[in-house]
Amino acid sequence: MLRELRTFLAVVRHGTFARAGAQTGLTQSAVSAQIQRLEDELGFALFDRTGRSASLNAAGQRTVDVAQELLAVYARLAVQGQASESAGLLRVGAIASVQSSLLVGAIQRFRAAAPGWRIRVAPGVSLNLLAQVDSGELDLAVIIKPPFALPREMKWHRLVSEPFVLLVPRKLAKEPWRELLAREPLIRYDRNSFGGRLVDRFLKRMRINVDDVVELDELQGIVGLVAANVGIAIVPHAAALHIPACVRTLSLGDDTFHREVGIVERAVAEQARASNDFTACLRAVAEDPNI
């Protein structure tokens, strides 16, 4: 609610959703979403909307003073509680494949350096986590690099580049990968995910027609299906993947493509110092997982 109230006052101060977003590090759609949540919570509209424009209505005008008072009271509480940059809550989003690898080492290092901070990890797919960072629900997220340009309000930090490989049952390990893709059932990496889109583009570029039998986003689940002889799969060779002895990884040779995993955060963050420190921890672990 406090975040939404701040965004509401920014709109009042700057006149439009777009200008408020530019000043607070949010996109126009994120500002609109926060205002809608605030209106839903309060039970009444704050703005009269006509087409693409919105003007403060009578209820909204009465809300301005109350919102300012609430935020002022909260600020006094923070001072009274001696809040400082040495303590707080950092909200981190993470795709499944980094939660048991990069994230573990980063949290360990961050907690050792900043024991006063708590960390809340939100799981999800890259697209949803990106939207949560954009809306201010998360301070940062570790995701797959989007296949589109990020808004200027967002920052990207590369961590690792993971090559895609073909997973096959051990009995097929000596056959050419092109022939296997054209012949064997394919367990497809979900096309709604950024990584799955890369696989789809690769297959189209190679002009290989495949027989989809299952489609899912969970990489370790895909490995399990290959181990159970359900089919073959193209997946990123992520550090967190456990490949059993009955499964083999085949290189795609000169046609190998990669997914880039990194950190996305807003250019203007409420927890800037803590976010920067946690980002540094993630980068250190990415450069040397053994530290």
Does this chain's domain 2-80 share its CATH topology with 161-258? Answer: no
pLDDT at residue 184 greater than cutoff 50:
yes
User: What is the domain class of 88-160+260-287 according to CATH?
Assistant: alpha beta
DSSP-assigned letter for residue 147: S
161-258: CATH topology is: D-Maltodextrin-Binding Protein; domain 2 (3.40.190)
User: What pLDDT is stored for residue 264 in this prediction?
Assistant: 95
User: What pLDDT is stored for residue 269 in this prediction?
Assistant: 58
Q: Which long-range contacts (CB under 8 A, 24 or more apart) does 49-57 make?
A: 54/16, 54/17, 56/12
What are the DSSP calls for 175-223, one per residue? S-HHHHHHHSEEEEE-TTSHHHHHHHHHHHHHT---EEEEEES-HHHHH
Which pair of tokens denotes residue 43?
Answer: 């039970």
User: What pLDDT is stored for residue 291 in this prediction?
Assistant: 53
The mean pLDDT of 47-52, rounded to a whole number, is 76
pLDDT of 90-134, one tens digit each? 999 999 889 988 999 999 999 999 999 999 999 988 988 988 888
If pLDDT is split at 50, 70 and 90, which confidence band does 24 have?
low
- Asked if CATH classification 1.10.10.10 holds for the domain at 2-80, the reply, yes or no, is yes
Q: Where are the domains of the chain?
A: 2-80, 88-160+260-287, 161-258
